[in-house]
Amino acid sequence: MGRFGNLLLSAILCGCTYTLVAIGYCLFFGVLDVVVFCCGDIAIFGAFSIIGAFTIIWSAGIFQAVPAIVAVLILLVVASILCAALGLITYRVSVKPFEKSSALMPLLSTIALGVVIKEVLGLIFQPVVNNIAKGVVRVDDPKTVVGGRNPQSMPQLIAAGGSTLTRNLIIIIVVALILLALFFFLNKTKLGLSMQAISQNKELALMTGVNVKSCIRWTFIIGGVLLAIGGFLLGNYQTILRFDGGTMYGTKGFAAAVVGGLKSTWGAVIGGMLLGFVEVFTAGLIPGGTKFQNVIAFIVVIIFIVFKPEGIIGEKVAEKV
């Protein structure tokens, strides 16, 4: 593969990681009209829960007994449950109490929650996981995770032992499958259609018999699962993760969502890819361009906000005066 091919692959991968977070923003914004700012931190939490679950389940000797694909599925289920729970907690703690107040309140409270998630990961992840792993140890070679305020290495679960290219292609394919599943879910299932209905007009949806409350809860569960998978893919792509990595990741995801037009999942995909392509090609083609890659990426975002505030795929909202 030539230089351009490598850049293209990097750009798509970079875009994939942003896309999944951006979709999280879109789902939450769609049903609630508020920005849940801790999406990046939830994704990192997902990745860390996979590192933790891997350590514990390995120490219990379960992984050695099952095929790799089963192991990965077990980990994904664990991380999904934890992230869905965290999604529900996010809703209960930092969104629902501010339902009646201005949209700025949940924005601020979810930023605060993101800081809490990040610091808790930094402080208690390592002792908690290591103590549980010590408790269940049944193998000769138990694993432990190292000091929490450091990067953690992600176990290589996708194409373990295979080439990096295979791994990267699998990541892209999985993201594409997730997008297809999401598209199917939003357009073909009752829950998905209800979510869209709420997104378009909450009062009308309520009147036509949509259970808005349960629908919102489901959105946070599905968003949590999606972010868990996002964290899993991100971790496998980067191979080592920092507990405070969610901030930048979340900001980029948010920017992608805004460029795409906050309410549209396809917009999020396009926004994520656009951001990924701008970043990677700035760094890869302009000599000395790397130090400007974030600057240029965010300039693109600002240009979109100025000239196309409704996003690439977004409807113009006419406010009645």
Partner 1 sequence: MMKKITAIALTVFMVTGLLLTGCGGSGGSGDGGGGKTVKLGFLSPITGANAAEGAAARNAFKLAIDQANESGDFDYTIEVIEIDDKSDPSTGVAGAQKIVSDPDVVAATGHWNSGVAEATIPVFKEAEIPMLIWGAIASDLTSKDNYPWITRSAPTDVQENVPLAKAVLDDMGYKKIFIISDTTSYGAGNSKAFKAELESRGMKEVGFEEVQEGTVDFHAILTKVKSSGADCVYWGGVVTEGSLLKNQMYEDKVDALFCGISGNYSEDFLKISPEASEGALVVKPGIVLESTDAGKKFIEDYEAAGFSEPIGAYTPYAYTAAEILLQALKECGDDVTPEKMRDAIKDGSFDGIMGTTTFDDIGQTELVAAYLNVVQDGKWTVYDDSEYADGTRTFPGK
Q: Residues interacting with partner 1, by CB under 8 A?
A: 3, 6-7, 10-11, 13-14, 146, 150-153, 156, 164, 238-240, 242, 245, 248, 279-284, 287-291, 293-294
Q: Name the minimum Å distance from CB 66 to partner 1.
A: 22
Q: Of 1, 4, 70, 30, whose CA–CA distance to 220 is shortest? A: 30
Q: Is 260 exposed, middle or buried (0-12, 13-18, 19+ CB in 10 A)?
A: buried
| Of 147 and 309, CB closest to partner 1 | 147
Report in angstroms how near the CB of residue 170 gets to partner 1 at its nearest: 14
Phi then psi dihedrals of residue 240, to 5 deg: -130, 145
Least Å distance, CB 297 to partner 1, is 11
- The residues that bridge with 152 in the sheet, in sequence order, are 241
- At residue 297, the 3 state secondary structure works out as helix
User: Smallest gap, in angstroms, from Cβ of residue 162 to partner 1?
Assistant: 12
Query: Residue 271 in contact with residue 314, Cβ under 8 Å?
Result: no
Report the residue number, 156 or 208, with the smaller CB distance to partner 1: 156
Question: 153 or 211, CB closer to partner 1?
Answer: 153
- As measured in angstroms, the least distance from the Cβ of 285 to partner 1 is 8
Token duo for residue 221: 């569960």
Paired tokens of 91: 């809703």
Q: Which residues pair with 168 in a beta bridge?
A: none
Of 77 and 240, which CB lies nearer to partner 1 in the complex structure?
Answer: 240
Q: How far is CA 110 from CA 19, 81, 199, 284, in A?
A: 20, 20, 20, 35
Give least dist CB 153 to partner 1, A: 4
151 and 47 Cβ atoms separated by less than 8 Å: no
Nearer to partner 1, 167 or 217 (CB): 167
Measured from the CB atom, the residue of 8 and 312 that comes closer to partner 1 is 8
b/e code 34-46 from CB counts within 10 Å (16+ = b): bbbbbbbbbbbbb
